[in-house]
Amino acid sequence: MLDWGRYLSRQAIRTCAVLLVGGGLLVSVSQAAPRGTASAEHEQIRIRLAQFSVAGGRFAEALARVEDLDSPLALLLRAESLVGSGRSDQAIPILRQLTAGERYRGQSWLMLAEAAMNGATSVEVNIEQALDNAVRYGHGEIRERARFHQAELLRAQSMPERAGQVLATMEPGYWAAVGYQNVASDYARIDRSPARSLVALRVALALASEDAHVARGASLKSELLLQAGYLALQAEDFSKAEGFLKDIALDSYVTPEALFFHGQALAGRQNVREAMQSWHRAKKFPLAFPGAVEAWLGMGQGYDELGYLGQAGEAFLAANAAFDSEQVTLRSLAEEVRQRGAWRAMVEASRATDLEWFLADNRALAQPRQAYLLRFAESADGQSAIARVATLAELFRQLQSRKSDLEIFRQAIAYRQASIPSVGELETRLGRVDGRIGELADRLRRTAAHAGTGQSEQVDSLVQTLIDLRTVYHRLPGDRPAVARSLNQHLDQLALLEHRLDGLVERLVRAREEAEAMLDRQMLSFLSNEEERIRFAQDRAEQQVVYLYEHLALRKLEQEAQP
């Protein structure tokens, strides 16, 4: 017989049993050194798994992994998951506990402040104090975000200068740049001269270029340049405006508006031909975007300025036709919203619920439906309305999936209950298994005596499996009652969960109906305003055509009247 004791002791050492069989592949495989089995290491794994779950937004999964752990990182992950899954009130005590400790104090203070600022908790939090502490204990992004919030609080109290002082203490990067952008907006509202605003925007531009996230920094830069160009244009400083606007990337979201302003700046310097080139580019964008409608009209005015009256008339007629067609599009979109609801007609039909596909589709902006959806989502109210329905739709999908899981679990548990063998049956099988294991062990022992080095490892592995099988089989009769009891408990738990799930589905359906009705109202109002905007532009185009015809008719009469 084999020396079971020797193999059992080897099992306790726990080696890594890995063999490479995929020869010829470039990936190399190495055996890991054995680690200790201390539960601290398993806790570490659970924490690392929870970190990844939080990064993927799978908060329920993260909570299930770290619920009973109390290390600072586990507590932070629990708090993040609770906030992320809409349970900020439960997260507050955990965050308070962390703020009293040594680790993650800055992040915890910031999370407390943000939960209070977002109105996500009914628990009272001293926001100023929380931000002060986040700045004191936080580092890097945490400190910068906290400083940014401090500046925003001062702005909200109409103190942009003091907000600027706070921003001046920040490191260059995204948060400081956005802070200065907001301060520039305040100055633009307060001052008659754009000087202070432009200085703030220039600072913001310099800071945005330090953003480690290149794409985010580039997008912010385009927005800042547009803002600066517009301010310079308003102050009739056309050269300065042109200087800002010409640096805006052509693949930016603000490109059509920037092209229109760029044309205006050129026209302001009497460079109408080049202005028309910019407007010509702008009018290729959907009319939903700011600047596109104005660019269509600008083309007619440009020809008019240059004295090409016939072409001016044609340009205004073309604009008129485009505006007419756009109103038909808007009316049909509105009709679709009335019939199918805004969620299905605008969001689902735009495939905006599938982020990857929506972004991969380079026609997304060229379609009126998508363009108007994006414009609608520019406003905070629009975002909220869509986000409400999107959240509820996602929750509904999750619940449907959970319902199906419950049914599968019930069937599986029932199957397991039915398939638990009786004690007698187990004992009979145990006798047979012992016999077979003994027989196999003898054969292995005989084989081991003649085995080479490589074969010995395989024999060892098979012996180990036999030991495992024997251990498991011998445990089965003792485990049987506990397994049966546990399955019954699971069935009871399932019934409770199902009851709760049904109640949640009912509440969800009601909430979704209300949210969809609100989205419908807001979307219809937005589409109606857009139609009004296009109609107004069409009126202007028609007036220009009438003016031109009158002018041409008068000129013809004058020519005929001449001898």
Residues from 411 through 470 that contact other proteins (CB under 8 A): 412-413, 461, 464-465, 468-469
Closest CA to 135 of 122, 123, 119, 153: 153
Residues 302-331 that bind other proteins (CB under 8 A): none
CA distance 421 to 414: 14
- Let me know: does 111 contact 91? Beta carbons within 8 Å: yes
CA 220 remoteness from chain centre: 17
Residue number, 351 or 551, with CB nearest to other proteins: 351
Tell me the window of 101-109, 216-224, 304-312, 419-427 that interacts with other proteins (CB under 8 A).
Answer: 216-224
Interaction between residue 504 and other proteins (CB under 8 A): yes
When binding is defined by CB under 8 A, the residue of 455, 486, 525, 529 that contacts other proteins is 486
- Binding positions for other proteins, 17-56, rule CB under 8 A: 17-22, 25-32, 35, 37, 41-42, 45, 48-49, 51-56
199, 317, 318, 508: residue in contact with other proteins (rule CB under 8 A): 508
Does residue number 211 form part of the binding site for other proteins (CB under 8 A)? no
Window 60 to 119, contacts with other proteins (CB under 8 A): 60-61, 63-64, 67, 81-82, 85-88, 90, 117-119
545 is a site residue for other proteins (CB under 8 A): no
| CB atoms near residue 33 (< 10 Å) | 7
Q: Does 406 bind other proteins (CB under 8 A)?
A: yes
- Nearest approach in angstroms of CB 226 to other proteins is 10
Which among 460, 457, 427 is positioned nearest to 441, based on CA atoms?
460
Tell me if 300 sits within 8 A of 541, measured CB to CB: yes
Residues 110-169 that bind other proteins (CB under 8 A): 117-120, 148, 152, 155-156
Question: Binding of other proteins at residue 535 (CB under 8 A)?
Answer: no
Instruction: Give the footprint of other proteins on residues 265-284 (CB under 8 A).
Output: 278, 281, 284
Q: How many whole angstroms separate alpha carbon 306 and alpha carbon 485?
A: 91
Nearer to other proteins, 217 or 317 (CB): 217
Nearest distance in Å: CB 336, other proteins: 19
Q: Choose which of 107, 133, 182, 329 interacts with other proteins (CB under 8 A).
A: 182
For other proteins, the binding residue among 3, 4, 11, 165 (CB under 8 A) is 11
Q: Single out the residue of 361, 333, 237, 299 nearest to residue 529, CA to CA.
A: 333
Query: Of the two residues 247 and 336, which places its CB atom closer to other proteins in the complex?
Result: 247
CA 455-461-465 angle, to 5 degrees, is: 145
Separation CA 62–CA 72 (nearest Å) = 15
Sequence-ordered list of residues with C-beta below 8 angstroms from that of 225, at least 6 positions apart, any chain = 205, 244, 245, 247, 248, 258
> Contacting other proteins (CB under 8 A), which of 209, 311, 327, 391?
391
Q: Least distance to other proteins from the beta carbon of 399, Å?
A: 6
Is there binding between residue 347 and other proteins (CB under 8 A)? yes
Rg (CA), the chain: 35
For residue 280, give both structure tokens. 């010509």
DSSP 354: S
Binding of other proteins by 203 (CB under 8 A): no
Question: Contacts with other proteins: how many residues (CB under 8 A)?
Answer: 137
Cβ(256)–Cβ(290) under 8 Å? yes
- One of 314, 511, 535, 551 touching other proteins (CB under 8 A): 511
The CA dihedral of 17, 21, 24, 25, to the nearest 10 degrees, is -60
Return d(Cα 343, Cα 340) in angstroms, integer. Answer: 8
Least separation in angstroms between CB 525 and other proteins: 16
